[in-house]
């Protein structure tokens, strides 16, 4: 199958590196230089010290008309506006897969009648070494669910690669909420305290902060199964103990964070439910403030 | 007048450097080496690039019988237990001046009938360069008030030195609460966010955090004049914009902080009043966690 991937960040490169083995992948990047490099040299995947290369086609998104039946949109949520400014470019695409963190971006999509929308959750550890190289540090999975429409071509998205499993689930909402809850608790805390994920379990007062924050998140989102949600968070902290969260890394590198898509969304939901969320509001300000400082510096 | 000063930290040295000009000062230190150095070379005061030296007497606290009529206790609140373990050593002292942050330590003092207890608030910027040298970076004032007993000998504590003014006030409680409120808001926030005092005003989301935290502090302490208290905080942030709070510095140097005496006390007061204090509890954990980490490292 022909697959398009919009976005040349760590997630876009990771998808291209694995999907490109069995599919004909075209990457759509923001910068011409990156597209050129990818088209000429392919995507490089570093895993356990070995590097493999996969050939892809690539071009800048800015002037492309996408003609793949299935396209992954792998930009950050705050870059979606730039994508929608060219919504017409997706006219010929039958299935779009959104892999952003957060949930709000899937509520109102400027798309065509008949298009299938999938939601995806990427739970791999990966970072971008350079414009064509992604380092795959932690094997997780890609989870997919239908958000709007019927599955169609996307049925072909399967993988028996143990380094890149693909899992289909029925309940898109539960899938996204699960990820949101984990992100809403682990990301801002590790970014604020400047610690790795494991420290939230190991340092007793940090674990208490995590419980306090979780208590607000579960109220804001009216979580059905609190116990299960809490255990998921603890499980992920333990499994990724040595990792630094994406929000930690974003701040460390002076990049914009996904705080709006994550805590901003939770805050909105809580406000709509009339729940008081002092800690979430406080943390939201802390990360916003740090973002501003990094941009200054 | 003969004056004793227990504690050879920045505050103890600063008091000795200024009071030693007009009084006969004896310093009581924890370590013999510091006492020796002070006795032999005096206290050095660095101010605006110039260093002046004042001769003092000095000895280790551990085996001293204090015989000055007036003694400053200038150790951190968490070191008071070590002082009280030798409460007998103060038998001949008529007036004790406590200059700790917080308030709880003055509620139950193991002292003799007839002794006068003063509370003092030191609002100078100062840090200890070495065992005998204090750097005076910001001129503030020493404020004194009678806590128990009658003023007596302490009346002599006056200063017309513009670099070291002494102010007497009647309302000890208001004096201590004023300082506590400022410390409870500025110290933990700057320590957590790792910024100087001015950033709390300059960065809009940080200012919002400050307002959120203040809102809990004023409820916990049932502040009478909120407006005045808030303006004091803003004023001090502005006046000390380039300074880093003592709690920030303590964490940066892997030292224990005064979080128990400051937010711990506010938390206690709030609990006694039945006020919910999510942010204070959260910040308390954050600083406790960071303290533990520094000790590990």
Every domain of chain B and the residues it spans: 2-170, 175-296
Token readout for A166 is: 């693909």
**Exposure on the CB side of residue B149, measured as CA atoms within 13 A:** 19
Does the distance separating the beta carbons of B282 and A282 come in below 8 Å?
yes
Hey, is the C-beta of A204 within 8 angstroms of any chain B C-beta? yes
- CA–CA distance, B192 with B204 (Å, rounded to integer): 16
Tally C-beta pairs within 8 A across A and B.
68
Whether B296 shows a pLDDT value over 50: the answer reads no
Does the distance separating the beta carbons of A281 and B193 come in below 8 Å?
no
Helices A172-193, A278-296: crossing angle, 10 deg rounding: 60
Instruction: Note the pLDDT of residue B210.
Output: 98
Nearest residue on chain B to A280, alpha-carbon basis: B279
Burial level of B9, CB count in 10 A (0-12/13-18/19+)? Answer: middle
Does the distance separating the beta carbons of A278 and B209 come in below 8 Å?
no
Hey, is the C-beta of B195 within 8 angstroms of any chain A C-beta? yes
Hey, is the C-beta of B294 within 8 angstroms of any chain A C-beta? no
* B119-157 per-position pLDDT tens digit: 999 999 899 999 999 999 989 999 999 999 988 888 889
Q: Tell which of A185, A205, A208 to mutate to test the B interface (max B CBs under 10 Å).
A: A205
Does the distance separating the beta carbons of B205 and A285 come in below 8 Å?
yes
What lies within 8 Å, CB to CB, of A294 at 6+ separation is A251, A254, A255
Across the interface, of A199, A278, A289, the residue whose CB is closest to B205 is: A289
Across the interface, of A209, A290, A292, the residue whose CB is closest to B286 is: A209
Across the interface, of B209, B285, B289, the residue whose CB is closest to A282 is: B209
Burial level of B104, CB count in 10 A (0-12/13-18/19+)? Answer: middle
- CA–CA distance, A239 with A135 (Å, rounded to integer): 18
- CA–CA distance, A27 with A8 (Å, rounded to integer): 7
Average pLDDT for chain B: 94
Section B95-115 average pLDDT:
85
**How far out from the chain centre does Cα A180 lie?**
10
Section B55-75 average pLDDT:
96
For residue A6, what is the enclosing H or E element?
strand A2-6
Token readout for B27 is: 């310093």
Whether B223 shows a pLDDT value over 70: the answer reads yes
Which positions of B are annotated as active-site residues?
Answer: 179
Does the distance separating the beta carbons of B288 and A192 come in below 8 Å?
no
Instruction: Note the pLDDT of residue B125.
Output: 87
Per-residue DSSP letters for B101-127? SSSGGGTS----TT-EEEEEEE--EEE
Whether B289 shows a pLDDT value over 60: the answer reads yes
Which of these is catalytic: A179, A239, A288, A290? A179
Structurally, at CATH architecture level, domain B2-170 sits in 3-Layer(aba) Sandwich (3.40)
* B174-187 per-position pLDDT tens digit: 999 999 999 999 99
> Do the Cβ atoms of A185 and A232 come closer than 8 Å?
no
Confidence band of B294 (pLDDT split at 50, 70, 90):
low
Instruction: Note the pLDDT of residue A294.
Output: 54
Query: What is the CATH code for A2-169?
Result: 3.40.50.720
Whether B42 shows a pLDDT value over 90: the answer reads yes
Structurally, at CATH architecture level, domain B175-296 sits in Orthogonal Bundle (1.10)
Instruction: Note the pLDDT of residue A98.
Output: 96
Hey, is the C-beta of A281 within 8 angstroms of any chain B C-beta? yes
The segments of chain A whose pLDDT lies below 70 read 111-112, 294-297
Across the interface, of A212, A284, A290, the residue whose CB is closest to B278 is: A212
Q: Tell which of A211, A276, A282 to mutate to test the B interface (max B CBs under 10 Å).
A: A282
Predicted-complex ipTM score = 0.88
Q: How far is CA A162 from CA A74, A158, A258, B54, in A?
A: 22, 12, 29, 74
Q: Tell which of A185, A270, A277, A278 to mutate to test the B interface (max B CBs under 10 Å).
A: A278
Hey, is the C-beta of B132 within 8 angstroms of any chain A C-beta? no
Instruction: Note the pLDDT of residue A297.
Output: 40
Instruction: Note the pLDDT of residue B156.
Output: 86
Hey, is the C-beta of A202 within 8 angstroms of any chain B C-beta? no
């Amino acid at each position: 199958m022909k697959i398009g991937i919009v976005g040349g960040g760590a997630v876009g490169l990771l998808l291209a590196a694995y999907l490109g083995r069995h599919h004909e992948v075209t990457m759509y990047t923001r910068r011409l230089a990156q597209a050129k490099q990818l088209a000429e040299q392919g995507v490089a995947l570093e895993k356990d010290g070995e590097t493999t290369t996969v050939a892809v086609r690539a071009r800048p998104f800015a002037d492309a008309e996408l003609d793949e039946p299935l396209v992954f949109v792998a930009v950050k949520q705050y870059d979606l506006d730039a994508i929608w400014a060219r919504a017409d470019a997706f006219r010929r695409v039958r299935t779009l897969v959104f892999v952003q963190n957060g949930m709000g971006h899937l509520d109102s999509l400027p798309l065509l009648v008949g298009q299938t929308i999938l939601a995806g959750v990427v739970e791999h550890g990966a970072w971008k070494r350079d414009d064509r190289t992604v380092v795959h540090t932690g094997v997780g999975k890609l989870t997919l669910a239908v958000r709007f429409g019927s599955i169609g071509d996307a049925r072909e998205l399967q993988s028996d690669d143990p380094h890149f499993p693909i899992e289909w689930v029925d309940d898109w909402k539960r899938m996204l909420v699960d990820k949101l809850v984990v992100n809403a608790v682990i990301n801002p805390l590790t970014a604020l305290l400047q610690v790795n994920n494991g420290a939230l379990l190991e340092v007793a007062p940090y674990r208490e902060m995590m419980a306090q924050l979780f208590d607000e998140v579960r109220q804001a989102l009216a979580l059905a199964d609190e116990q299960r949600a809490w255990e998921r968070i603890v499980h992920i902290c333990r499994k990724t103990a040595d990792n630094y969260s994406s929000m930690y890394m974003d701040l460390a590198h002076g990049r914009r964070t996904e705080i709006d898509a994550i805590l901003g969304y939770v805050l909105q939901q809580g406000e709509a439910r009339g729940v008081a969320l002092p800690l979430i509001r406080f943390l939201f300000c802390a990360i916003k403030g740090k973002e501003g400082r990094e941009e200054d510096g």
